[in-house]
């Protein structure tokens, strides 16, 4: 019951998370369309940066709400060590989901562009492969930093 209440408390950010996910979808779709029709892959850095910023904001949002939740729970008698373990698990789960989504997105992007623009793809196949790997790397990095940042902030907060 404790973990149920803790997870339910974290939904404090659900509405804002939806905004970020919505933003992410719009940017992704626009980038794919621009990538196909402008015959240019220079649009890719825009996706990377957008992904990075939005994932980072999402992690920060969860962190700021978790700080309040930790304060309330510990004032009511919850053990800080227990809270630390729960929040580490939560941030790790978010990190893993982010990485999986990042990989799926990258592969999806590669195949969508590849399917719709074969001419474009054949002319810069090697470059596209590098870009795909780079996408995966940046997204993993973004989520990794977000996760580590979250864990450190949580530790700092609860051990004050």
Report the residue number, 12 or 117, with the smaller CB distance to other proteins: 12
Tell which positions 11-40 bind other proteins, by CB under 8 A: 11-12
Examine residue 78 and tell whether it contacts other proteins (CB under 8 A): yes
Q: Does 5 bind other proteins (CB under 8 A)?
A: yes
Please choose, out of 30-38, 50-58, 67-75, 143-151, the segment that lies near other proteins by the rule CB under 8 A: 67-75
Q: Segment near other proteins (CB under 8 A), from 19-27, 72-80, 113-121, 128-136?
A: 72-80
Instruction: Check residue 109 for interaction with other proteins (CB under 8 A).
Output: no
Contact between 54 and other proteins by CB under 8 A: the answer reads no
Q: State in angstroms the smallest separation of the CB of 11 from other proteins.
A: 5
3-state secondary structure the chain: CHHHHHHHHHHHHHHHHHHHHHHHHHHHHHHHHHHHHCCCCCCHHHHHHHHHHHHHHHHHHHHHHHHHHHHHHHHCCCCHHHHHHHHHHHHHHHHHHHHHHHHHHHHHHHHHHHHHCHHHHHHCHHHHHHHHHHHHHHHHHHHHHHHHHHHHHHHHHHCC
| List of residues contacting other proteins (CB under 8 A) | 1-2, 5, 8-9, 11-12, 69, 71-81
């Amino acid at each position: 019951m404790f973990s149920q209440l803790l997870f339910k408390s974290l939904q404090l950010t659900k509405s804002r998370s939806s905004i970020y996910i919505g933003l992410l979808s719009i940017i992704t779709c626009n980038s794919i369309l621009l990538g196909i029709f402008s015959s240019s892959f220079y649009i890719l850095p825009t996706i990377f940066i957008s992904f990075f910023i939005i994932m980072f904001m999402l992690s920060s949002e969860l962190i700021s709400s978790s700080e309040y939740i930790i304060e309330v729970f510990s004032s009511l008698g919850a053990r800080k060590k227990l809270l630390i373990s729960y929040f580490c698990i939560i941030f790790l789960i978010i990190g893993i989901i982010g990485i999986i989504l990042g990989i799926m997105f990258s592969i999806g992007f590669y195949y969508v562009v590849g399917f719709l623009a074969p001419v474009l793809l054949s002319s810069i196949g090697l470059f596209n492969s590098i870009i795909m790997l780079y996408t995966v790397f940046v997204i993993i990095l973004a989520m990794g930093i977000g996760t580590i940042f979250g864990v450190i902030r949580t530790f700092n907060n609860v051990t004050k």
